[in-house]
Structure 1
Amino acid sequence: MGSKKHRWGVIIDAGSSGSRLHVYRWKDPSKAIKDADKDDLHSLPKIKTKWTKKIRPGISTFGDRPAQVGNEHLQELVDYALEVVPEEMVADTPIFLMATAGMRFLPQLQQTALLRETCSYLRQHTKFSLPDCAQNIQVIAGETEGLYGWLAANYLLGGFDHPEEHSHGQNHHTYGFLDMGGASAQIAFAPNTTEAAEHADNLKLIRLRTLDGNPAEHRVFTATWLGFGVNKARESYVLSLTNAHQDLITNGVSVPDPCMPKGLRTTLDGEPAKSPGAGIPTLIGTGDFANCLIGTKPLLAKENTGCGEGSEPCLIHDPVPSIDYNINHFVGVSEYYHSTHGFFGEKGDLAYDFATYQKKVLDFCNQDWSKIDAKIEGDSEKETRKKKDKDIDRTLSDAQQACFKASWVINVLHEGIGIPRVGLDKIPGLNVTADGSVEESKSSPYSSTAFRPVDKIDSVEVSWTLGRMLLYASGQIPPRSVRGSGGGSTIGAGKGVAVGFGSNSKDGSIPSDFTYAGSTWEPLKIGSGGSKSDDDDWSDKADDIFDKARDKSAIPGAFFFLLLVLLFAFLLRKKERRVRLYNKFGSIIRRSRWPGSPGRKPGRFTSTVGSGPSSSNNNGALAGLAKMLFRRHSRDYERVLEEGQMDHQFELGDVDLEDTDLSSDGSEGPGSASSSMRLASTSSTARRSGLGTPTLSVDKFEDMRTSGVGSLSAMDRSGLVVRTESRERLGLGGGLGAPPSLQMLNAGRRSRATSPTRLKSPMMAPLQED
């Protein structure tokens, strides 16, 4: 693998429950631009990802012991990355560690200590590129996580590169993004035109760069809710239960929990408990999912803020742009997927409608825990496969929490965000079948409903880390020149050039809080003239490269079409006209050096066939084309025989003896003089009738030369027609004035000049040439 064929990037998603490493690869921008067609030039870099590794627990568990985070947590991930990234590319490969909600709950001092130790360890124990710890190793805000997720989802769905295939109406072609982890939840979407103008100050500007160097801008609303992840929401829910039943805890009685299957008993932390212990509060499941929905709804806290009482639209407990579900279609990842699948749906099932989902949840959550436990631990074929996929203890833990997670997802989706309830609510523009399911769109299944839970898109896991790496890869593409007011060009600064995101700027300028992609671009090396220091020179040459790359795909097609037209026109002509045209075109091809050209004496034409570079450079392609289009087969000689008479007309063809340069002593050597010999042959008819002309073999010719024969007649006794041509100006003593033996030494060589005369047999009629 060439060291510059691909670029690589490594990023660690340090979440609340564990850390997952992702390795990404994309083609080096200079090579991608060179190989791109017109469609590719308008696209973003093609990023490949299939290398991931997750370890538990999360990095936040090292908050009180940061010195151990390297050996006990990071090294396992680094070892995996080194197995994937080629050794020669490690130094040029950036590494990121970006922590999310789990780290956000730690005290600031612990956060700082963990980040510093992480940066120090990676710098000391790896050779990955880590120029700026503040940018590469950090705790990212929830809004930033949502923006990265929005980028990743739309990149995989194709809404950026092929908007025509993802039209939702009103010139809208992007999807909204929903993410829910263990500690927080995020939303990101592009409002419709009206809402975007009204809420311009609340939007974020995202700027990417396509392969042609042009900026691609998007304005997105994003919000995050810390504490709204499923684990933190569960903690809040249990706290509300214990506060409401403090008397039961005091008396050592288990607190009833409608969000757990009937008969399941756990501690407040979710650990299995057989019976109420001495002073240890416990929960007992009642399997009442309807009351579970009622009990989790207050966690949205809408009533505490007055949100929704006015005319301003509300999302959870924040004022937001109004969501138009006719054009705003969302995909949900992480818990939105896991809580709607697993126990309640198959992995390949993309469709979601509220009525069907709620029925599945009711059927599961209203069961006795003993039945659920027996199914999980059973030895049926289906459960055996499940055991192979997941550890049995983890499956039991998931089953214990499945009902709460389902109720929380339903409330956030429909009560908090306002996603329509497919199967119950009538949604304009949405086709619903008789059984209440959603009718799929023919263009894209994601365009047919307001919400889709996803885990992978085209076999690629949807992770916000892909969005972060997309920004980095996009920033490596050289920008097109940006013309200033004075007509000059500036590179690397100004409107439309920087890649990253920040506050929305209406005039396209870079805002003060702009977060750069962190990557740098280098001018393409254009021969020996490419220069990184000369911006104007680079700008003009870069423009030429992009323009040529756009047009290069059209050149072969146009040439091929013209070639077909010429060939078709030639074939339509009558045979006599084709022959005349062939003769004329052939005479042009044979004249390769014109008067005044190098290596030629004035007043004469000299053939360059096989004579050196001029031949290949000036005539090779043209002669080959002419031969293919116009020339008849080299052995297609005709002799016309008519009844009652013989018309002695011959068409002379080339029969080249082997080119061999001979020195004065008879050995091969450069600079020897040569002459050419043309042979006339009879047609196949003449050959069958005994009139064929025998060929002159090299052995026979050599016998004649060594026996002292000084010349040959125009036709020998066997009827062989021979034409010799003078090479006195090229030969060294081999001209007409040379001794007979030296003239014969040069016989049999192909002439490099057109013969001024032809030696004819008395029986031959004059040759006709056009």
Structure 2
Amino acid sequence: MKEKNPWHTPVTIIITVIGVIAIVALVTVAVLQNRPLPQKYKYGIVLDAGSSHTALYIYEWPAEKDNNTGRVEQTYSCKVKGPGISSYASAPLKAGESLSVCMQEAKQRVPGRRHSQTPLYLGATAGMRLLNSENSSASDKVFQAVEEALQKFPFSFQGARILSGQEEGAFGWITVNYLDDRLKQGLETKGALDLGGASTQISFVSDNYDGSESPDNAVTFRLYGNDYNLYTHSFLCYGKDQALRMTLAQQTQSGPGTINDPCFHPGYTESRNYSVLYDSPCVSDRKPQGPPANFTHIGTGDFQQCQEVVKRIFNSTHCKYSQCSFNGVFQPLLQGPFGAFSAYYFVMNFLNLTDTSIPLEAVREKLGHYCATPWNQLKQQHPKVKLKYLSEYCFSGTYILTLLTEVYNFTSENYPNIKFIREIKGSDAGWTLGYMLNLTNMIPAEAPDSPPLPHAGYVSIVTVIAILLLVLFILSLRPLWPLCSKRPQIV
């Protein structure tokens, strides 16, 4: 009779089947527990409604946050065609319509499943501040038209409002320091210099300023677990476009038919309308009585004389504080490095003067040479630049240098501390990123995706399966037990 194979018994087969199942279960649990977890992202949209144009920015950040502050990155920007929304005061519906192209882009860029959870904000700056002060009813109608247009999109619209100058300056400061990783790492912060068309802002942390002197200029932020006491001030009407109006208003006080302007190039001649020039709250109260309809604007191209003209729009004669910048506004001593953006960058970049290692005297010489360049020669050198913009670079460059050195008191020693920037790490420098970063503190963080099992449960299951496999292995050796027991013992 053939001897029965002990490995083919039912018990052995059952042990083998259970062992295979246990091994498959162990591998499955390990794979599921240790697979990469998908990163959740949130999105935010901010519309920057400036005085000269509107821009849309899309921001993205992980749903899990660092020290209560989301790590925000700009993923897309769209410049709205046409002027700023404040220009549509007489046709407010067009203000809302102008945003539709960029909003459709945003609809495509943000994942559809996130549309309803994506906050949408519109912040208006100096252009709407001026319109609101001049005609609040027109300002309200523009906002109403904008809100109605934005509410048609599937995002979570959070409203449209005018940012105060203090907010604009403070959020610009956050942007510059966030992009440089200074906030997260607790490094010395950078000051922020922002220049728009209708206003300019200066913001920085000073060891000499605790907010007790001129408390209206003090802002406190808590970001990444650190507190920051910030000095900030916004000068309405001192953006480059309104500053140009003020210098022209100074030169046309008597209502002349012709002015010779040192801030425009030799050979430049343009007929300007008095009503258009004085159609701004920044200069409307200075309009001369009974002027002609137009005046002839003639350029003479003299940098030094231009600087004298520019200085006259700043009032530095009175200060009730320990120290002031201009117009009686308190300013502590400048401290640390500064980032200068918006029109600061675009003007100085065009003039090839963004390298602040160039001595100040050399900068003045270069500006002097540029302003003295004949208008016809300049047009030939820059055929693709719009004539309006091209004609104003001499004034804008002179204005920027005068503002920095004669008003904010940057000297040849600390002027190199300024860095002219357009963007850092793919994000545009400006107030919108700081605004979004601050607002993420108000957005609840989602719980991150977690493994299927808690760590203790995972360890327990793996341990039980491992013990089971060991027992099964020992039992599988059962046919060999008799052989081991029959071995002769050596005496």
TM-score band w.r.t. shorter chain: 0.7 to 0.9
> Which of residues 404, 414, 417 is equivalent to 1:413?
404
Q: Tell me which residue corresponds to 2:363.
A: 357
Who is 2:297 aligned against?
Answer: 283
Aligned counterpart for 1:103 among listed residues 128, 137, 140: 128
Percent identity among equivalent residues? Answer: 23
* Residue of structure 2 in register with 1:399 after alignment: 390
Query: How far, CA to CA, are the matches of 2:110 and 2:448 in structure 1?
Result: 24
Q: 1:616 aligns with which of 439, 451, 465?
A: 465
Query: Does 2:247 match 1:222?
Result: no
Q: Which 10-residue stretch deviates more, 54-63 or 44-53? A: 44-53
**AA of the residue aligned to 1:176:** G
Give the corresponding residue for 1:689.
Answer: none
- Whether the 8 Å CA contact 1:419–1:450 is kept in 2: the answer is no
- Distance verdict in 2 for CA 1:376–1:617, change over 3 Å: same
Task: Tell me, yes or no, if structure 1 residue 461 matches structure 2 residue 484.
Answer: no
Q: Distance in 2 between matches of 1:200 and 1:294?
A: 29
- Native 8 Å contact 2:58 2:106 kept in 1: yes
Aligned partner of 2:144 among 110, 116, 128 = 116
Where structure 1 has 5 or more consecutive residues not aligned to the other structure, the ranges are 33-40, 167-172, 272-277, 378-391, 431-437, 439-448, 476-516, 530-544, 549-611, 624-655, 660-672, 678-723, 727-754
Q: Distance in 2 between matches of 1:402 and 1:200?
A: 35
Write out aligned runs for 1:283-682 (5 A).
Answer: 283-303=297-317, 306-307=318-319, 312-325=322-335, 328-345=336-353, 349=355, 351=357, 353-377=359-383, 392-394=384-386, 396-420=387-411, 422=412, 427=413, 449-473=416-440, 475=441, 517=442, 519-521=443-445, 616-618=465-467
Q: CA shift at 1:27, angstroms?
A: 0.8
Which of 210, 213, 217 is 1:199 aligned to?
A: 213
The answer to whether the Cα contact below 8 Å between 2:338 and 2:418 also exists between their aligned partners in 1 is: yes
Q: Deviations over 1:733-752 (max 9, x none)?
A: xxxxxxxxxxxxxxxxxxxx
Aligned to 2:90: 64
Greater C-alpha radius of gyration: 1
> TM-score, structure 1 length as denominator?
0.51
Once the two structures are superposed, residues 631-665 of structure 1 have per-residue CA deviations (whole angstroms, 9 ceiling, x without a partner) of: xxxxxxxxxxxxxxxxxxxxxxxxx9xx9xxxxxx
CA pair 454-350 structure 1, distance change in 2 beyond 3 A = farther
Residue 452 of structure 1: CA displacement?
2.1
2: CA distance, partners of 1:287 / 1:18: 29
User: For the residues of structure 1 that align with 2:68 and 2:181, how far apart are their CA atoms?
Assistant: 10
Contact 1:207–1:217 at 8 Å: present in 2 too?
yes
Alpha-carbon distance in 1 for matches of 2:462, 2:408: 75
Structure 1 residues 162-210: Cα deviation after superposition (integer angstroms, max 9, x where no partner)? 23xx4xxxxxx11111111000011111121x432643834212123x3
Residue pair 1:312, 1:319 contacting (<8 A) in 2 also: no
Residue 86 of structure 1: which of 111, 114, 117 is its match? Answer: 111
1:241 aligned residue: 251
Q: Which residue does 1:563 correspond to in 2? A: none
Q: Which amino acid aligns with 1:115?
A: F
Structure with higher strand content:
2
State the 1:154 CA deviation: 0.6
Whole-angstrom distance in 1 between the partners of 2:38 and 2:156: 15
1:228 counterpart letter in structure 2? Y
The structure carrying a bigger helix percent of its residues is 2
The letter for the 2-side match of 1:300 is F
Q: Does the residue aligned with 1:102 lie in a helix, a strand or coil? A: helix
Q: CA deviation at 1:108?
A: 0.9
Match of 2:197 among 156, 159, 182: 182
- Is contact 2:74-2:426 (8 Å) kept? no
Paired with 2:348 and 2:323, the residues of 1 have a C-alpha distance of 27
Range 113-122 or range 294-303, more displaced: 113-122
Report what 2:15 is aligned to: none
**Is contact 2:40-2:448 (8 Å) kept?**
no
Change (3 A) 1:196 1:126: same
SS of residue matched to 2:270: strand
Separation (CA, whole Å) in 1 of partners of 2:250 and 2:462: 91
Contact kept? 2:63, 2:448, Cα under 8 Å: no
1:102 Cα offset (Å)? 0.9
Give CA-to-partner distance per residue, 1:443-466, whole Å, 9 cap, x none. xxxxxx432221122343212100
- Kindly indicate whether the alpha-carbon contact (under 8 Å) linking 2:195 and 2:341 is maintained by their aligned counterparts in 1: yes
Deviation at 1:22, TM superposition (A): 0.2
Aligned-partner Cα distance in 2 for 1:416–1:318 = 12
Aligned to 1:566: none
Cα distance in 2, alignment partners of residues 287 and 264 from structure 1: 9
1:256 aligns with 2:256: no
Unaligned runs of 5+ in 2: 1-36, 277-291, 456-460
Residue pair 1:199, 1:321 contacting (<8 A) in 2 also: no
Deviations 1:80-101 (A, max 9, x none): 1112101111100000111111
Q: Contact (CA 8 Å) 1:14, 1:99: kept in 2 or not?
A: yes
Displacement, 1:42?
5.6
- Cα 1:110–1:279, aligned 2, differ >3 Å: closer, same or farther? closer
Once residues 344 and 451 of structure 1 are traced to their aligned partners in structure 2, the CA distance between those partners, rounded to angstroms, is 15
Quick one: which amino acid aligns to residue 264 of structure 1? Y
SS at match of 2:102: helix
Residues 674 and 315 of structure 1: CA distance in aligned 2, closer, same or farther (over 3 Å): closer
- Preserved contact between residue 352 and residue 453 of structure 1 (Cα < 8 Å): no
Name the CA shift for 1:295/1:114 in 2 (closer, same or farther; >3 Å).
same
Paired letter, 1:59: I
CA distance in structure 2 between the partners assigned to 1:226 and 1:3 by the alignment: 47
- What displacement does 1:339 show? 2.2
TM-aligned CA distance change 1:63 to 1:4, over 3 Å: farther
Take 1:614 and 1:219, find their aligned partners in 2: how far apart are those partners?
Answer: 54
Report the TM-score when normalising by structure 2: 0.78
Number of residue-to-residue matches in the alignment? 427
Native 8 Å contact 1:21 1:77 kept in 2: yes
Contact 2:267/2:375, CA 8 A, preserved across alignment: yes
Structure 2: distance between partners of 1:758 and 1:397: 108
SS at match of 2:350: coil
Q: CA RMSD in A?
A: 3.3
